[in-house]
Structure 1
Amino acid sequence: MYDIEIENLTKKYGDLKAVDNLTLKVEKGITFGFLGPNGAGKTTTILSMLGLIIPDSGSIKILGNDVFREPVKVKERIGYLPENATVYEELTAWKNLEFFANFYNVSKTEKEKRIEELLKMVGLWDVRYRKAKTFSKGMKQRLLLAQALINDPEVLILDEPTSGLDPEGAFLVKSIVKEERKKGKTVFFSSHILSEVEELSDKVGILVDGKLMALGPLDDIKKQFMELEGYEIKIEAKHPLPELDLEGIIRVERIGNNKAIIFAKNDIREQISDYLTQKGVTLISLEIEEPSLEDVFLKTIYKKE
């Protein structure tokens, strides 16, 4: 079952295609990382998901409701944290959340209980009666996250959720995202912090020039990258390594007598092990060096070495 269904979404600004025939589905209960360089079309996609931008063509459903035909039904069931959002500076933390809670049909008791729970969750309970104008940027960001959760949404959409936060604040936000995921919520977030995406995401989509360049679990994307760019195999032996003359090897970088990095067209660890055993060489370790998400970006998105 999919909580988010985007079909053939296209949006132009003059001659520029901000989003180009994008089709994307996000399963229920996962955390989805949405990536891409500046100008890739991420914000246009997110604003379209919220019904704040009308696309030239295509459709979007969230929780089975059409975003453009049933906007109220969608908004009742989602939470949204925009990038560079602002709080009401003259209101206290409590009053900020109360203001947004009033949009939802809940009793006063339930509303107060929810506000208390959220302020404690984001670490602002002790300053609940202070005006937001006295808050640091990080405190305001945490208040905005609480605001996005005020209606206990089934789908949470976060645009750069740790932007401007110190390490402690970023850790708190990531912890909250993980907890919402454990509750069965679907979390859709964009971020330029690649380590954050690796840590949080069950699945990743990479957008470039409005087009979806990669989609799937991060391990699958890394595997596709290795198949395209080659495998990096690290080897260490108890004895000096002989010449490695095996099919599939692109090059070998030796590190002393008994260590080497082998660049190969495919995963040839079994062949390497058999070859060295025949040569009487005992292996200490033989492992593939997995690329990081940064490696994938630099070589496949930005085309850099």
Structure 2
Amino acid sequence: MVDYPIRTEGLTKVYDGVKAVDSLDLSVDKGQVFGFLGPNGSGKTTTIGMMVGLIEPTAGKCFINGMDVVRNPMEVKRVTGYLPDGVGFYSGLTARQNLKYFAKLYEMKDADARISELLEYVGLGGVEKPAGTFSRGMKQRLGLAQALLNDPEVIFLDEPTNGLDPQGVIRFREIVKEQVKEGRTIFFSSHILEEVQHVCSTIGILLNGRLIALGTPDEIRRSRDRSAVRIRVKVSGAMPHLSDPRIIEASYSDGSASIKASADIRDDISRELIREGLAIRELAIEEETLEDVFLETVYGGA
């Protein structure tokens, strides 16, 4: 049986008696873009560090393409690419020279064509100034090129859109989709929920080192107890304050309201507004965003 590209068993890291990552069991399918979410300090970067072989686990194991990361570090590095958060380069070297240095570490022969291809691919073709003069976004682009340098089967991206301008973010999304079409597996950690929603089909939410939710956004929504309904209302004219006792909270503007209620009270809202002589322009359940899912799962809706 072919193993998962990424799999962990009881993966644990303890620092000074505190579990930064606590018994993580996770499997990621081939060709999947897996979004790894969690608040600052939840253990995301430590988890990735163990997955790419930079941090030794206190307990448990991580496997890349069936290979134990601790027992087979060089073999694992040959099939993985990694873009860390806050990626750094030799400041006095150009983008091309930096990639040539890393190509030597990978023992790549005749790497010039591959480097030229990647620099064009990430939007740095023709840039010859030292990397120390690069903007944060340019460093992210170079970091992505480095992560792809050895033509990896599994790619780890930690906060990859930090510092990118809107055009760079769009190009990043395109690159992720292109890499997946070529059969690669991508593990994508970010605090930018919009980016995760754009590129990831499956997400895991980490809190205090433990995986507290796993699945597609829709699966995570369905798995949670929904004790409240959010309703969007728009009318022609001034929006009155509604009187239904099942309204938990509401925010009003001139012609609209956003309501949190203990039940679906759209029919009652409609009747109340009609009694007020108002024409209803919109009355609908508000769909949860990934941000709603994240906040309610991690902070209980705070």
Residue aligned with 2:151, SS:
coil
Q: Distance in 2 between matches of 1:253 and 1:50?
A: 47
Paired amino acid for 1:300: T
Corresponding position of 1:288: 285
Counterpart of 1:21 in structure 2: which amino acid?
S
Q: Which residue of 1 aligns with 2:5?
A: 3
Q: What residue number does 2:163 align with?
A: 164
Q: CA offsets per residue over residues 131-175 of structure 1, 9 Å max, x none?
A: 222322221221111011001111110111111222232332232
1:215 alignment counterpart? 214
Q: Distance in 2 between matches of 1:28 and 1:164?
A: 29
- Which residue of structure 2 aligns with residue 240 of structure 1? none
Aligned to 1:84: 86
- Which residue in the other structure is 2:143 paired with? 144
- TM-score, normalised via structure 1 length: 0.81
Please provide the CA RMSD for this pair: 3.4
Give 1:95's match in structure 2, choosing from 94, 97, 103: 97
The residue type equivalent to 1:124 in the other structure is L
Q: Displaced runs of 4+ in structure 1, greater than 6 A?
A: 249-256, 259-262, 264-269, 283-286
Deviation at 1:40, TM superposition (A): 0.6
Q: 1:186: which partner in 2? A: 185
Contact conserved, 2:36 with 2:203, CA < 8 A, in 1?
yes
Bigger mean CA offset, 23-32 vs 129-138:
129-138
Q: Which residue number in structure 1 is paired with residue 275 of structure 2?
A: none
Q: Distance in 2 between matches of 1:253 and 1:39?
A: 33
Counterpart position of 1:154: 153
Uncovered stretches (5+) of structure 2, i.e. residues with no partner:
236-243, 272-279
* Aligned residues between the structures: 293
* Match status 1:121 vs 2:121: yes
2:175 corresponding residue in structure 1? 176
Q: Tell me how far apart the structure 1 counterparts of residues 87 and 31 of structure 2 sit (CA, whole Å).
A: 26
Question: Is the contact between residue 217 and residue 293 of structure 2 (CA under 8 Å) also seen in structure 1?
Answer: no
Q: Give SS of 1:123's match.
A: coil
CA contact (8 A) 1:83 1:159 kept: yes
Q: Compared with structure 1, are the counterparts of its residues 254 and 148 closer, same or farther at alpha carbon in structure 2 (3 Å cutoff)?
A: closer
Equivalent runs, 1:265-280 vs 2, <5 Å: none
**Residue number in structure 1 paired with 2:238:** none
Q: Distance in 2 between matches of 1:117 and 1:27?
A: 28
Unmatched tracts of structure 1, length 5 or more: 238-244, 277-282
Q: Deviation at 1:92? A: 1.5
Partner SS for 1:169: helix
Aligned match for 2:38, one of 36, 39, 47: 36
The answer as to whether partners of 2:21 and 2:210 remain within 8 angstroms in 1 is: yes
Paired with 1:189 and 1:254, the residues of 2 have a C-alpha distance of 35
Contact kept in structure 2, 1:222 and 1:290, CA below 8 Å:
no
Letter in 1 for 2:299: Y
In 2, Cα distance between the equivalents of 1:174 and 1:14?
Answer: 38
- Tell me the TM-score normalized by structure 2: 0.82
Secondary structure of the structure 1 residue equivalent to 2:117 = helix
Q: Give the drift of 1:285.
A: 6.9
- Superposed displacement of residue 102, structure 1: 2.1
Offset at residue 215 of structure 1 (A): 0.5
Give the aligned residue type for 2:285. I
**Structure 1 counterpart of 2:94, which letter?**
T
Q: 2:74 aligns with which of 51, 72, 75?
A: 72
Amino acid at match of 1:119: L
**1:175-199 deviation digits (Å, cap 9, x = unpaired):** 2222212222111011111111111
Indicate the larger mover: 206-215 or 283-292: 283-292
Residue aligned with 2:183, SS: coil
Partner of 2:132: 133
Match of 1:76, SS state, is helix
Over 3 Å counting, the alpha-carbon distance change for 1:266 and 1:65 in structure 2 is farther
CA contact 1:208–1:301 (8 Å) conserved in 2 = yes
Query: Which whole-Å CA distance do the structure 2 matches of 1:122 and 1:169 have between them?
Result: 9
Q: 1:82 to 1:261 in 2, by over 3 A?
A: closer
> Take 1:250 and 1:151, find their aligned partners in 2: how far apart are those partners?
57
Q: For residues 60-88 of structure 1, what are the alpha-carbon distances to aligned partners after superposition, in whole Å with 9 as ceiling and x for unaligned?
A: 10111111111111110010011112111
Structure 1 SS opposite 2:126:
helix
Q: 1:104 to 1:55 in 2, by over 3 A?
A: closer
CA distance in 2, matches of 1:5, 1:71: 15
Q: Secondary structure at the match of 1:18?
A: strand
